[in-house]
């Protein structure tokens, strides 16, 4: 169960990183 949670969290981090890169590429945004 812990391993599954770690993999899910890692997957979410990848999605968040991809989204941030897209937002940054779209234009300057204030750091939240």
Contacts of 23 (CB under 8 A, 6+ apart): 29
Judge whether 21 lies within some domain. Answer: yes
Q: What does the block give as tokens for 21?
A: 């890169």
CB 10 within 8 A of CB 17: no
CB 14 within 8 A of CB 8: no
What's the domain range around 14? Answer: 1-25
Whole-number pLDDT of residue 1: 58
Cα separation, 24 vs 26, whole angstroms: 5
Judge whether 31 lies within some domain. Answer: no
Domain count, the chain: 1
28: left (phi over 0), alpha (psi -120 to 50) or beta: beta
Whole-number pLDDT of residue 31: 56
Whole-number pLDDT of residue 24: 76
Write down the pTM of the prediction: 0.53
Judge whether 16 lies within some domain. Answer: yes
pLDDT average per 10 residues of sequence, the chain (32 residues): 79 88 73 55
């Amino acid at each position: 169960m812990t391993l599954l949670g770690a993999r899910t969290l890692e997957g979410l981090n990848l999605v968040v990183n991809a989204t941030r890169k897209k937002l940054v590429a779209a234009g300057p945004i204030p750091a939240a």
